[in-house]
Structure 1
Amino acid sequence: MIRVLIADDHAIVRTGLSQLIGTADDLELVGAADDGEQAVTMAAELRPDVVLMDLSMPGTDGVAATGRIVAADSSVRIVVLTSFSDQTRILDALQAGAEGYLLKHSEPEVILAGIREVMAGGSPLDPKAARVLLTHRRNPGPEVKLTGREQEVLRMVGDGLPNKTIARRLGISERTVKAHLTNVYQRLGVTDRTQAALWAQRHAQWHTQGQPDQGY
């Protein structure tokens, strides 16, 4: 049996997916979370094989939840099931650790097949998601270049350290830490600390430009 956890903030979607999974003899629904934070907690408690993850949820979104679930247990397979097919959402989800990306308007048999495929080691991708991923691999965009000090700050953010601790360790002010983070967000193309931390965790090494800044 493939143990499945659903994460979606819409009750009607959770109900529909629960009923769909109930039609398959080889699938077992172990739980249904209504936000990302609950999905992280339930994944740790219930240890599902596959999580069907929505992206747009209040509080902890699907990308952040995916990263935290995979970081805690790399054996859990995440299949994104969402209404969004834009490039940024797709790449963020896959970068966070999702192994599949399907759209909610997919036929029921496609969703069931996606759960089985990811358990078999595959990567079920909606055609739109596959095109985005292929285009990105062909044209990955400009190389991310961070200064030595920006790398130090980002690495500590990836370790979960708050600004106050980072400032103390580097011997700089919290205001300077925030300034470095603003630059890091712009260069990585992310909008918040969680996304930056996920980027840092997924890229253990990156190209260094210049030396760590001195004197501040």
Structure 2
Amino acid sequence: MTDQPLTILLLEDQSLVRAGMRALVQISEPHAHVLEAASYEEAVAQAESTSIDIAFLDIDLKDSRSGLDFLRWLRVRELDTRAIMLSGRAEKDIVMACLNEGASGYILKDMESDGVFRRALDTVFQGSIYLPASVIGRGGFSPALPAAPVPVSPESLGVTGRALEVLYYVCQGLPNKSIARNMGIEEGTVRKDYLPKLFRIFKVVRRTELLIEVSRRGIAIPQPALLPDTVR
């Protein structure tokens, strides 16, 4: 993450849960500017008035529109907001649906202790992806394990330069069009050159599988401004 304070949105309709989340977020990121929303409409209003770095979105709101609807709203407008879904449900199909819509993480709200939830938050703030065990499978980084995996650097896997930038934006949940705009390149270059290269390196065939591998290996992806000045 950058040295600038993060602007973080908490979309959660239960005030007590939201207050507890706010306290944990401020422990992990004490300088963050934390915004709150209890509904889809409030979240939209916050996003329209402020640039949000990370949004923690409750999937099941007591509203006609959900946190997943707000995620779709973010992606349609091509906003560079990293969206982390919050839910009490760990079914793989639900998690995968969120990843397909552009989420870049999924945290279970019914974890056994605040310590585990804080570890999930720390994983997100360090630039990696947190996913439940139902998705990353046996041996991966899951709430049931006592410790996080040994971090792997993307450079050690051969992911450097522009390919590393693309990996960062993929992990942000951005579509190819937004990635190309941010990098000043053609969308076809992202789709035909960089994504296939990343798929080969991680031995996957689609973007959701790439996110799962990043989570499983505990890879933290630096923001493009922090990337070393390498030959591209």
TM-score tier by shorter-chain length is 0.5 to 0.7
State the Cα distance separating 1:100 from its structure 2 match: 0.5
User: Residues 28 and 118 of structure 2 are in contact (CA less than 8 Å); yes or no, is this contact kept in structure 1?
Assistant: no
Larger Rg: 1
Under a length normalisation based on structure 2, what TM-score does the superposition of the two structures give? 0.50
Equivalent-residue separation in structure 1 for 2:136 and 2:40 (angstroms): 25
Contact 2:11–2:57 (Cα < 8 Å) also in 1: yes
How many Å apart are 1:23 and its aligned residue?
A: 1.9
Q: Sequence identity of aligned pairs in percent?
A: 21
**For residue 136 of structure 2, what is the aligned residue in structure 1?**
130
Residue equivalent to 1:47 = 51
Contact 2:71 2:83 in 1 (8 A): yes
Where do 4+ consecutive residues of structure 1 move more than 3 Å?
24-27
Query: For the structure 1 residues 124 and 109, does the alpha-carbon distance in structure 2 shift closer, same or farther, using more than 3 Å as the test?
Result: same
Cα displacement (A) at 1:78: 0.3
Determine whether 1:115 maps to 2:124: yes
Root mean square deviation of aligned Cα: 2.3
Tell me, yes or no, if the aligned pair for 2:22 and 2:34 is still in contact at 8 Å.
no
Partner of 1:84: 89
Aligned AA (1:130): I
Unaligned runs of 5+ in 2: 141-232
Note if 1:36 corresponds to 2:40. Answer: yes
Q: Secondary structure at the match of 1:122?
A: coil
CA–CA distance in 2 between the matches of 1:22 and 1:6?
A: 12
Question: Deviation string for 1:100-136 (max 9, x for gaps)?
Answer: 011113423223213314xxx532212223239x9xx
Residues 18 and 29 in structure 1, CA contact (< 8 A), matched pair in contact too = no
TM-score normalised by the chain length of structure 1:
0.54
The residue number in structure 1 matching 2:209 is none
Unmatched segments (≥5 aa) in structure 1 = 135-216
Alignment partners' CA distance in 2, 1:63 and 1:22: 24
**2:68 corresponds to which residue?**
63
How many residues of Structure 1 are paired with residues of Structure 2 in the alignment?
Answer: 130
Aligned amino acid, residue 134 of structure 2:
K
2: CA distance, partners of 1:122 / 1:25: 15
1:74 is the counterpart of 2:79: yes
Higher RCO (Cα < 8 Å, 6 or more apart): 2
CA distance, structure 2, for counterparts of residue 6 and residue 16 of structure 1: 11
Mapped partners of 1:54, 1:41: distance in 2? 17
The 8 Å contact of residues 13 and 38 in structure 2, kept in 1 or not, is answered as: yes
